[in-house]
Amino acid sequence: MPVEPMVVLDGVHKRYGDTAVLSGLDLRVERGEHVTLIGPSGSGKTTILRLLMGLEAVDAGTIHVGGRCLTHMRRRGAVVPADEKHARAVRRTIGMVFQQFNLFPNMTVLGNLIEAPVRVLGMSEAEATRRAAELLELVGLTDKTHERPTRLSGGQQQRVAIARALAMRPEVLLLDEVTSALDPELVAGVLRLLRLIGESSDITILCVTHEIGFARDFADRVLMFDGGSIVEDGPPERLLVEPRVPRTKEFLAAVLEGR
Amino acid sequence: MTGIWDWGYAVEVLPALLRGLQVTVLATLLGSVLAFALGLVLAIVLRARVPVLHRVVRAFVEFWRSTPLLVQAYVIYQVLPDVGITLGSLAAGVIALGLHYACYTSEVYRAGIEAVPVGQWEAAAALSLPRSRVWFGVILPQAVPRVLPALGNYVISMFKEVPLLLAIGLVEVVTVARQLSADSFRPVEPLTLAGLLFLLVSLPASILVRRMERRAGAG
Amino acid sequence: MLDNLPLILSSLAAGVPPTVFAAVGGIALTIALSAVAGLALLSRHRAVRAVSRVYVEFFRGTSEVVQLFWIFFVLPALVGYQIVPLAAGIVVLGLNHGAYGAEIVRGAVRSVPRAQYDACTALSLSPWDRMRRVVLPQAVVEMLPSFTNLFIQLLKSTALLSLVVVDEIVRRGQLLVPNLGVGEKLTIYLVELLLYLGLAVLVTSGMRLLERRAAARVGRPPTAARSGFATGVAM
Ligand SMILES: Nc1ncnc2c1ncn2[C@@H]1O[C@H](COP(=O)(O)OP(=O)(O)O)[C@@H](O)[C@H]1O
Ligand SMILES: [Mg+2]
């Protein structure tokens, strides 16, 4: 029996008002795979991650995560759109890190890290705190444990946000341009952390980024997006070096020129 | 004795209440005119930073708006006659309202004036416009439309505060309602109707102001 | 001319406790009603929103004096039971300012950025935890300055209770006026105004302290410097 893919999108449609963002997108991501999404702004990369995280609802199509359907559920034999409770149960296996960090300003760094493990996973506060200490060590911010997030630099905040997502022990991690809001000198630290996480865990990672160099050595597979569909799909060594589709070529040239 | 609500009596007292409401509206409008004009003067004095005057005005505005309008109305109605200025209930009430709310509208104008880009002052200065032209030709025409919704809200607030002027003998709608209920020993109809009349005026007025806010926000 | 000053001071000072009592009671009721009605305005259920909306519009749309007289004169005629003037006053102060407070609460909750909700969803927090642990603590910081202004309004409104013979500051003054000659009226009213100013400064300083604490808890500097010494509004 073949191992089931970790993430499966089947014929996913999504529109905002009059703009159709995704029209029948199919996507498969294997367990433990690191997939990088590249493509011009507005091509629908964020939308895919938000749909996976359950922050938006699909208009049509289905999404499965870890073999469980996120978008629909069975009720009395019939398949109906998922209700809040069902969606929350499936979402628990997914973590997301945002471009703008989105830390809770009313809690300390530690508070941000233990909030969900305690309230959602039902972990004891002591246990959650112990785990948080490990994660803060991993992200190199042990000395900031009791700080307010607003007193940290952007890079430090983003490392806390990554630790916060990991604290929920997600099976799938979604990273949406996590270095785009950072000052240039802070980018390297965050990317180094992501590489470390990629190497030391078996989490499935979907990562939107414009850091082509990072994508090359981090990803198992790169997806080039344009206008809501995948225009090219391949291993980074090939796709980023010798793109076959003109659109990819143009995009990579534009991004590299921007450096 | 009829039931809780006597329609016949309600209809009977309505004309008198409506006459009272006219007085309430009149006091509101006169008070608004005074508050708008005086508030503008206060705002300009505060903005112009005339050395001592500016501090005095500032302290007065703070003091006046943190103390009750009722007491201020008593001062104007009862104390001024001692120094030879005798005012009727309406005049005293309008002055009390206007002065109290000028302390709020001055703040509204200030915000509106501050929202006019610095470049406008500089452009006016570059053209060597006289002081009064700068204010009335350049700054205020830009600032005032923006603050109209906020001023409108204060008009509605004033309208709802007019009844406290019954304490200085103004025969507005609530006074009429109280007199009617004292005469008939039936407070239910007159006072309830008075309340409904307030709703009848202030609800459409708030909707109007909200519409102005949306337009100001969009424009 | 100031011969009667001690008498005036002691008479008016005796009105301070009822005024403070009415203000504190009114503020407590205002806080409770603002929270309940404000959150109800944000409810998912249409009916809950509608009930709260009617309450808010009704009390913001009618005059406080009418509300006071209605509870004081009409209610007894309907239920055959007269409530104590001070209690009636507190109820009206609370109901009236609670309606304004509800809008403050609603606005503050809605001002919490959408991104904070996204972060809660990404962490699978329940709607209840999201509200209690993330949204409200941030909204409170946002609403405190507006509540400072609302409480000052409420403090000023306690003067209306003199109209239903509560023995607070203004009513004490009214009892003095006929007995003291020309010239003393000004003294009486000035003392009254200064007493209210003092109370307003107390309310504002207390609230400023809370605002600073709350702002620090979300790692923000205190709300932009505001210079008004009593009402806390920038000038
Ligand atoms: N909440 C929204 N409302 C309306 N349009 C949206 C919304 N979010 C995204 N869009 C539109 O959907 C398209 C795809 O957006 P997005 O997924 O954010 O692209 P990307 O992340 O690749 O830049 C864009 O045209 C964008 O304007
Ligand atoms: Mg994006």
pLDDT-derived band of residue C233, with 50, 70 and 90 as boundaries? very low
Domain assignment present for B209: no
Alpha-carbon span B15 to B21, nearest angstrom: 10
- Our answer on whether the CB atom of A19 is closer than 6 Å to any ligand 1 atom is yes
- Asked whether residue C199 carries a pLDDT value surpassing 80, the answer given is yes
A150 touches chain C (CB under 8 A): yes
- Is B219 within a domain? no
Q: Are A119 and C126 a contacting pair at CB < 8 A? A: yes
Closest ligand 1 atom, residue A228 Cα: 14
Protein residue whose Cα sits closest to atom 25 of ligand 1: A42
Calculate the alpha carbon distances from A72 to A4, A51, A64 in Å. 18, 13, 9
Instruction: Report pLDDT digits (tens) over C111-133.
Output: 999 999 999 999 999 999 999 99
Tokens 């809690």 belong to A107
Q: Is the beta carbon of A25 within 6 A of some atom in ligand 1?
A: no
Q: Does C63 touch chain B (CB under 8 A)?
A: yes
Domain assignment present for B192: no
B53 located within any domain: yes
Q: Does B212 reside within a domain?
A: no
- Stated as kind and residue range, the H or E segment containing A230 is strand A229-234
Q: Which residues lie across from C103 on neighbouring strands?
A: none
Residue B18 lies in a domain: no
Q: Which atom belonging to ligand 1 lies closest to the Cα atom of A40?
A: 22
Chain B residues within 8 A of C67 when measuring between CB atoms = 195
Which positions in chain A touch C115 (Cβ < 8 Å)?
98, 100, 102
Residue nearest to atom 12 of ligand 1 (CA): A21
Range A156-170 burial, b when 16+ CB lie within 10 A, else e:
bbbbbbbbbbbbbeb
Q: Is the CB of A14 under 6 A from ligand 1?
A: no
Give me chain C's average pLDDT, please. Answer: 91
C229 contacts in chain B (CB < 8 Å): 62
In angstroms, the separation between the Cα of residue C141 and the nearest Cα of chain B is 22
Among candidates B68, B82, B166 on the partner chain, residue whose Cβ is nearest the Cβ of C196: B68
pLDDT of res. C235:
36
Q: What is the pLDDT of residue C2?
A: 67
> How many domains is chain B partitioned into structurally?
1
Domain housing B154 = 27-173
Q: Is residue B198 a contact partner of residue B160, using CB atoms and an 8 Å limit?
A: yes
Q: How far is the CA of A98 from the centre of ligand 1 (A)?
A: 15
Q: What is the pLDDT of residue A82?
A: 87
ipTM of this complex? 0.92
| A:42-101 residues touching chain C, CB 8 A cutoff | 53-55, 84, 88, 91-92, 94-96, 98, 100
Cβ of A209 closer than 6 Å to ligand 1, yes or no, is: no
Confidence (pLDDT) at C113: 96
Which CATH number applies to C20-167+220-234?
Answer: 1.10.3720.10
Check if the beta carbon of residue C179 is closer than 8 Å to that of residue C18: no
Give B42-89 pLDDT, tens digit per residue.
Answer: 999 998 888 899 999 999 999 999 999 999 999 999 999 988 899 999
Nearest-by-Cβ selection for C65 from B62, B163, B186: B163
Helix and strand numbers (H, E) in chain C are: 11, 0
Residue A6 tokens read as 């970790």
DSSP state of A61: E
The per-residue pLDDT of chain B, averaged, comes to 92
- The amino acid present at C144, given as its one-letter code, is L
Q: pLDDT 10s per residue in chain A (259 long)?
A: 567 899 999 999 999 999 999 999 999 999 999 999 999 999 999 999 999 999 999 999 999 999 999 988 888 888 888 888 888 888 999 999 999 999 999 999 999 999 999 999 999 999 999 999 999 999 999 999 999 999 999 999 999 999 999 999 999 999 999 999 999 899 999 999 999 999 999 999 999 999 999 999 899 999 999 999 999 999 999 999 999 999 999 999 998 887 6
pLDDT of residue C3: 76
The reply to whether B105 falls in a domain is yes
C124: distance to nearest CA of chain B, Å? Answer: 36
Q: Provide, as residue numbers in chain A, all residues whose Cβ is less than 8 Å from the Cβ of C222.
A: none
Mean pLDDT confidence for C156-166: 96
Please report the beta strands in B24-141, taking only residues with DSSP state E, as ranges in sequence order: none
Of residues C1 and B99, more confidently modeled: B99
Q: Tell me if A106 and C137 make a contact (CB, 8 A cut-off).
A: yes
Domain ranges across chain C: 20-167+220-234
Contact B46, C235 (CB under 8 A): yes
Distance CA C168, CA C180 (A): 19
